[in-house]
Structure 1
Amino acid sequence: MSLKWLEWAQRLQAIAQNGFTYCQNPYDLDRYAQMRQIAAEIMATYTDVEPTFIRNLFEQEDGYATPKVDVRGVVFQQDKILLVKEREDGCWTLPGGWVDVGESPSNAVEREVFEESGYLTKAVKLLALYDRNHPRHEHPPLRHHVYKLFFGCKLLGGAPAENLETSEVEFFAQEQIPQLSLTRVVPSQIARLFEHYYQPDLPTDFD
């Protein structure tokens, strides 16, 4: 299914947000408000969510509009990859999440792996930097534009432990990958990460 509507809405919202950031002319500000409303109505039309709710979410964003950053830890042990089971949808994913303000990507991924799995790791290589919105990744629609950073991480210690976000922690062989949380990771990405594992000299993927 084409997601051009999502791209259009995100671009309109970004233009409006940038306009509110730099513009002082009241007439132009009114035009940016109308643009933000149109973006909200586009998203509402295709997602069955009230335009007012979406517009309120948009209004919480300020400053120059840029993609958000999501990090994922890629941890292997004996030819198996570490996955955690999300409580939110009951599906599996690589441990990870948003990078906090003031936090480096490598520190963020090490923190996320520990919080979601109980394992201590060291980020050693950026395996891939993907544009979540690119059609080839086949993620479900999301109102944010997101860059996903996949870090190869060396296992240092720790033990599996569930938390508020995850209910199970396990290593899986490539032929045993369970149902994935497609909002967070898709099968083609897992397959590519196994290629990085077996061919450690592969360069970093991007886009």
Structure 2
Amino acid sequence: MAKSESIRLVGYARVSTVGQETNLQIDALEKAGVSVIYQEKTSSVGARPELQKLLDSLTKGDCLVVYKMDRIARSLKDLMAILERVQAVGANIRSLTEPLDTSVPVGIFMVQVLGAVAQLERSIIRERSVAGQLAAYRRGVQLGRKKHATPPETIEKMRALYATGEHTYPSVAKLFGVHASTAKRLITGKSSRQKMPVLGQYLDAL
């Protein structure tokens, strides 16, 4: 029987401050058979150049190994983005202290669960945002940036120029000294409510 091709194990270790050490993570990674290890000392919210180098180096069949997932991802959203990038090149990711290994069925299932949780999290945030906007609307609060009143005759002139077909929104905006998005809004007559279709669905149901 032919010997199976060995998997290249690539490790990543990170600590948040310069005063901390990656020794514990390095020892665990080396014990797991990892010979190539990228490490850096930076907070999860800072730039992580070594992580980017590692991700750029991954090829099909490689396995990215970490001591814990919080060493590589700052949030669930960040983790899902990294997982997607790893899987896009045909590589896998494994945690030494958590049940996450995308090279086995259980690990793939865990990724699917994490993806579902991330989707739920986005939906909850979206619902809360809409609820807040709806409450503000009911109190009479103007949504979006405060707009300066534009004289009706000015709006008509802008629409007339645009209707000739010789002007674009930016060119009309330049003539009247306003932003292109403002010119478009005035010419088309679209309100802030129309620019928020999700909230609009709730308002239409009232």
TM class by shorter-chain length?
Answer: under 0.3
* Higher RCO structure (Cα 8 Å, ≥6 apart): 1
TM-score, scaled to structure 1 = 0.21
Structure index of larger Rg: 2
More strand by share: 1
TM-score, scaled to structure 2 = 0.21
More helix by share: 2
